[in-house]
Each structure stands twice: as structure tokens, then as C-alpha cells.
């Protein structure tokens, strides 16, 4: 009897061991900075078979994936994709935002040092990110045995996706002309990174972000990370967060049309095809789960639109902030405007308090002044956005994007295609992003590989659904501030 019992116990134990949660060997997040959803189709006839077209053909395509917040900018996009959350909860309220009346960059961390150079470009960390990412949750689920790594030319696009518990993050130091990291992650670069830097570098101060070379180097670095850290070769699932930054820098400079944008998407398509072949060979077809998305889109250049009679234009945000400061100075006797950024006006609390004026009075007056601008449809007091007469989905996007401790006090919603820019001239050839409108907020979202059957849907989904979808597929807890929904 005792013998039968032990045999039965042994059988149950071995069953339990066999029934280990099924997961892919590697999760790859691929963000293409500033990739409008319609680039999947605008250039479709020129893409090869192995890159973006392969993702569309073999993957599951969420055709109407939207950003559920404003402002639609890089740091917010990258943190929201991987946390499944919004600035109100993640603390990443913009590329820049205010902490204690100081206007700071999202990833600046003076307490850390650059590793791989001695410049300021390396003094970065995710310390301003409050929420956990997919990678953090993977770490929690595997007792930190998974490896989670971020790679991008832009520091914020490598650091924020990988999360605070990330093993490594690498980004480009323009002065040094190669990839670096910071003491937040490590004391010295691993050998595979120093080896990589000997082969792939530029001369100091060369702006690789506005070059197609930036796309190639990013994918090469991603492959080097997989080789160097043996990602996808461990008992536990690993994760690699890649972001392609050159598409954004080139878009800003040359806009959504023309040779430069065309060429960078052709390079992206070619490098993606070769990266997918690499993954097939190295990790194995069907062994990795990949998603492709973007942090935001971009508006078309207003001069190009106006040439075809489409209502469009640019407004000078510096002038808006200056004029507002002057008006408040006249009325109250002090100047509390820190800046306009993220389509928000940032006010200095300490200056207002020092003058014994109620902040609400200043906010109300500022709003009444800003509403005089005929290009501004709505000017909203963020603290009371829920009561504002603003149509959905704009109202919800304002609320989701408002981080009480860090955002500006006032949100400006201009007319469609009227974006904020420092150059409003007829010679301006570039573009911007940051608004709620479809051109900035409609992004690609394709899942590909492990357990994905080809297909597509036109139903509206959100950027914040990506993280809970990946977590549901992996059977791990969704990130701690996630507000999205699992799509499968
Ligand atoms: Zn940008």
C-alpha cells in the first residue's frame, strides 16, 4: 500500500514538473519612433517580403490601435507601451516635465555616471518611472532569472521600456560616437559591448539619429545583445526591448513625405527582414513572440497641406508662453510661467505662493488669456478636466495624461493640423507630434511569432492593451499600474 502511494506521489510530482507554464524563449518589443499606422500601407508596394509585409501577413494586426492619452511624445509612448499605463500613473508626463518647479528631462539622473564614456549623455536612469513594465513583471514571475535588456539610440527609448529592474540598457552617446550605459545598471561595459563599439561607431558629435545608419546600428546592436547575453537560450523567458529612433529624427527634419522619410522606411524594412531571419535561425521560428508598435505618429507638414487647401498651420509655442507671462505680470505683478511643453502651460508654484496669490486665480486668468487665440479650440484646467466641455475621447486623454505632481496646469487643444513649433514660416519643411488627433495617436500594433495566428481586426484598441496582452500570453501578472485590457 505504502509502495503504491509513493509511486502515485512520484507520478503526480513528475506531472507537475512536466506541466511547467508554457512560454516563448524570447519576447521582443520593437518600437518604431514616430511610425504612423498608415506607413504600413503608404510604402507597402515598395517593402520586401521578409520585413514589415511579413509581419502583416504572418502576424495578428490590430489596425486601429490608439494612444489613450495626451501628450503623444516619445518618453510617454515608450513608458505606456511597456507599463500598459498612462502618465497620470507612471509619472512619465512628457519628455520633459516639472519636479518641484524644476523643468527636468525624463531620464536625467545626476546621481549616476556614464559607463563607456565620460559625457553627460550617460547620466540617465529610469528613476522617474513609478510603474512596473512587462520586463519587471517577467522578473517577478521568474525570481529575476529572466534577462531583460533595452537597446535604442535614444536613452529614454532604451531605459523606460526595460524598466527599473532591467538587467541592462544601452543607448547612443553622440559625443562618444558609440553605445553607452550608466552606473544605474553596471560599473563597466560587458566585453560584447566594447567589442561592438570597436566595429560600429561614428566620429564624435555625428548625429546618427538623423541618418539611416542609425537604423542599421540599432538592429546590429540588438543582435549583438542576443548573442552576447544568450537571450532566448535560458530556462526562463528573456526579453529584449528595441526602439528605432532615426525614423523620428528624420521625420522631424524632413516631414512625413519625401525622399528622406521614404529612405529611412526602406532601410527599416530591409533591416527588419534580416533581423527576423536572424531570430528564426538563432532562437527558432515560433520560439519568440514579437510585437511591433510606435510611441506616436506625426502630423503632415502644414505648408504641404496648405498647398492643397487643407486647413493647417503652426503656432509658435515660445511666443505663446512669453505673451502669457507678460499678461500675468501685468495683472498680478509677477511672472510664473515656466514654459509651454507637451501642449501644456507649466506654472511655478513657489513664485505664486511667494506673492500670496491663490493659484486658481492665476490659472483662471491664464486660461481666459489663452482662449483669445483663435487656433486654440479648448484650453483646459487640468485639475478640473472632468468638468470641462470637451468632447470624448479628448477629455479622457487629457485626464489620462495629467500627472498631478509633474504635468503643466493647463492643456491647450489646438485645431486639427495646427501644431506647436518654433518655426512657423513658409519655408518650414519638418513636422511635430504631441496632439490627441489620429495623425499623432494612431499607431501600428502587430503581434507575431509564438502562439500567434495570422489575422486582423478593425476594432479600436489602445497602446495600453499591449502590455496586458503580452502578460496574459506569458501567464504573468500585468504591470502594477496597468489600465489596458488583454486583447486575446
Ligand atoms: Zn519626436
Q: Do 43 and 266 contact (CB within 8 A), yes or no?
A: yes
Phi, psi of 431 (to 5 degrees): -150, 175
Q: How far is the CA of 467 from the centre of ligand 1 (A)?
A: 22
pLDDT band per the 50, 70, 90 thresholds, residue 19: low
Q: How far is the CA of 198 from the centre of ligand 1 (A)?
A: 29
Report pTM: 0.95
Q: How far is the CA of 261 from the centre of ligand 1 (A)?
A: 14
pLDDT of 166 higher than 70: yes
Identify the CA nearest to 342 among candidates 392, 414, 395, 393: 414
| pLDDT score of 350 | 97
Q: How far is the CA of 427 from the centre of ligand 1 (A)?
A: 20
What are residue 172's DSSP bridge partners?
179
Q: How far is the CA of 110 from the centre of ligand 1 (A)?
A: 24
**Residues 6+ positions from 190 with CB-CB distance below 8 Å:** 168, 228, 229
| pLDDT score of 485 | 98
Residues by chain with Cβ below 5 Å of ion ligand 1: 248
Identify the CA nearest to 131 among candidates 62, 186, 177, 75: 75
| pLDDT score of 17 | 47
Q: How far is the CA of 452 from the centre of ligand 1 (A)?
A: 31
Q: What is the mean pLDDT of residues 70-83?
A: 98
The rounded distance, in Å, linking the Cα atoms of 304 and 144 is 51
Phi, psi of 191 (to 5 degrees): -60, -35
pLDDT digits (tens, 9 = 90+) for 42-54: 999 999 999 999 9
Q: Are strands 102-105 and 114-115 parallel, antiparallel or unpaired?
A: unpaired
pLDDT digits (tens, 9 = 90+) for 101-153: 999 999 999 999 999 999 899 999 999 999 999 999 999 999 999 999 999 99
pLDDT of 7 higher than 80: no
Q: Which DSSP letter does residue 144 get?
A: T
For residue 71, cis peptide bond before it (omega within 30 degrees of 0): yes
- Alpha carbon of residue 4 to chain centroid: 58
Tell me the residue length of the chain.
488
pLDDT digits (tens, 9 = 90+) for 95-105: 999 999 999 99
Q: How far is the CA of 433 from the centre of ligand 1 (A)?
A: 6
Q: What is the mean pLDDT of residues 180-192?
A: 98
pLDDT of 2 higher than 70: no
pLDDT of 404 higher than 90: yes
| pLDDT score of 131 | 98
Q: How far is the CA of 124 from the centre of ligand 1 (A)?
A: 19
Residue predicted with more confidence, 5 or 448: 448
pLDDT of 57 higher than 60: yes
Alpha-helical segments (H) within 32-73: 39-42, 52-58
pLDDT digits (tens, 9 = 90+) for 262-279: 999 999 999 999 999 999
pLDDT of 15 higher than 80: no
**Between the CA atoms of 456, 457, 463 and 467, what dihedral angle is there, to the nearest 10 degrees?**
-60
Q: How far is the CA of 262 from the centre of ligand 1 (A)?
A: 17
pLDDT of 6 higher than 80: no
The rounded distance, in Å, linking the Cα atoms of 474 and 461 is 20
The rounded distance, in Å, linking the Cα atoms of 148 and 28 is 10
Active site residues per annotation: 74
Phi, psi of 346 (to 5 degrees): -100, 125
pLDDT of 5 higher than 70: no
Q: How far is the CA of 372 from the centre of ligand 1 (A)?
A: 28
Biggest CA-to-CA distance, the chain: 94
The rounded distance, in Å, linking the Cα atoms of 202 and 165 is 30
Alpha-helical segments (H) within 19-90: 39-42, 52-58, 74-83, 87-90
Q: What is the mean pLDDT of residues 65-78?
A: 98
B/e letters for 55-94, b = 16+ CB within 10 Å, e = fewer, are bbeebbbbbbbbbbbbbbbbbbbbbbbbbbbbbbbbbbbb
> DSSP string spanning 401-420?
H--TTTS-SEEEEEPTTEEE
Q: Are strands 418-421 and 313-316 parallel, antiparallel or unpaired?
A: parallel
| pLDDT score of 4 | 57
The rounded distance, in Å, linking the Cα atoms of 173 and 121 is 5
pLDDT digits (tens, 9 = 90+) for 408-448: 999 999 999 999 999 999 999 999 999 999 999 999 999 99
The rounded distance, in Å, linking the Cα atoms of 101 and 243 is 31
The rounded distance, in Å, linking the Cα atoms of 239 and 233 is 11
Q: Do 184 and 111 contact (CB within 8 A), yes or no?
A: no
Amino acid at each position: 500500500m505504502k509502495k503504491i502511494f509513493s509511486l502515485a506521489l512520484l507520478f503526480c510530482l513528475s506531472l507537475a514538473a512536466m506541466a511547467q507554464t508554457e512560454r516563448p524563449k524570447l519576447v521582443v518589443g520593437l518600437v518604431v519612433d514616430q511610425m504612423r499606422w498608415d506607413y504600413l500601407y503608404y510604402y507597402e508596394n515598395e517593402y520586401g517580403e521578409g520585413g514589415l509585409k511579413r509581419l502583416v501577413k504572418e502576424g495578428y494586426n490590430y489596425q486601429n490601435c490608439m494612444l489613450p492619452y495626451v501628450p503623444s511624445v516619445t518618453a510617454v509612448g515608450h513608458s505606456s507601451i511597456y507599463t500598459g499605463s498612462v502618465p497620470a500613473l507612471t509619472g512619465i508626463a512628457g519628455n520633459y516635465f516639472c519636479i518641484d518647479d524644476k523643468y527636468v528631462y525624463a531620464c536625467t539622473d545626476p546621481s549616476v555616471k556614464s559607463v563607456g564614456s565620460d559625457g553627460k549623455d550617460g547620466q540617465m536612469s529610469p528613476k522617474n518611472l513609478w510603474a512596473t513594465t512587462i520586463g519587471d513583471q517577467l522578473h517577478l514571475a521568474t525570481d529575476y532569472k529572466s534577462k531583460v535588456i533595452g537597446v535604442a539610440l535614444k536613452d529614454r527609448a532604451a531605459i523606460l521600456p526595460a524598466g527599473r529592474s532591467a538587467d541592462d540598457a544601452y543607448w547612443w552617446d553622440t559625443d562618444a560616437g558609440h553605445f553607452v550605459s550608466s552606473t544605474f545598471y553596471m560599473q563597466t561595459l560587458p566585453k560584447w559591448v566594447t567589442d561592438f563599439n570597436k566595429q560600429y561607431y561614428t566620429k564624435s558629435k555625428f548625429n546618427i539619429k538623423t541618418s539611416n545608419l542609425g537604423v542599421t546600428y540599432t538592429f546590429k546592436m540588438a543582435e549583438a545583445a542576443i548573442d552576447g547575453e544568450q537571450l532566448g537560450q535560458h530556462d526562463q523567458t528573456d526579453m529584449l526591448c528595441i526602439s528605432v529612433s532615426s525614423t523620428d529624427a528624420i521625420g522631424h527634419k524632413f516631414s512625413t513625405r519625401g525622399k528622406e522619410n521614404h529612405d529611412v522606411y526602406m532601410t527599416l524594412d530591409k533591416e527588419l527582414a534580416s533581423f527576423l531571419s536572424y531570430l528564426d535561425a538563432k532562437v527558432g521560428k515560433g520560439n519568440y513572440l514579437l510585437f511591433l508598435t510606435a510611441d506616436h505618429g506625426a502630423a503632415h507638414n502644414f505648408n504641404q497641406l496648405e498647398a492643397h487647401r487643407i486647413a493647417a498651420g503652426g503656432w509658435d509655442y515660445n511666443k505663446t508662453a512669453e505673451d502669457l507671462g507678460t499678461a500675468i505680470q501685468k495683472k498680478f505683478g509677477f511672472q510664473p510661467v515656466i514654459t509651454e511643453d507637451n501642449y501644456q502651460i507649466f506654472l511655478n508654484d513657489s513664485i505664486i505662493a511667494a506673492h500670496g496669490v491663490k493659484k486658481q486665480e492665476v490659472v483662471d486668468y491664464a486660461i481666459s488669456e489663452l482662449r483669445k487665440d483663435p487656433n486654440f479650440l479648448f484650453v483646459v484646467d487640468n485639475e478640473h478636466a472632468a468638468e470641462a466641455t470637451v468632447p470624448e475621447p479628448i477629455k479622457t486623454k487629457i485626464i489620462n495624461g495629467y500627472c498631478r505632481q509633474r504635468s503643466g496646469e493647463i492643456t491647450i487643444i489646438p485645431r486639427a493640423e495646427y501644431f506647436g513649433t518654433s518655426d512657423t514660416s513658409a519655408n518650414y519643411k519638418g513636422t511635430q507630434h504631441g496632439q490627441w488627433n489620429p495623425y499623432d495617436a494612431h499607431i501600428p500594433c502587430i503581434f507575431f511569432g509564438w502562439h500567434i495566428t495570422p489575422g486582423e481586426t478593425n476594432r479600436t484598441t489602445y497602446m495600453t492593451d499591449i502590455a496586458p496582452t503580452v502578460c496574459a500570453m506569458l501567464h504573468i501578472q500585468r504591470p502594477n499600474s496597468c489600465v489596458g485590457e488583454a486583447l486575446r
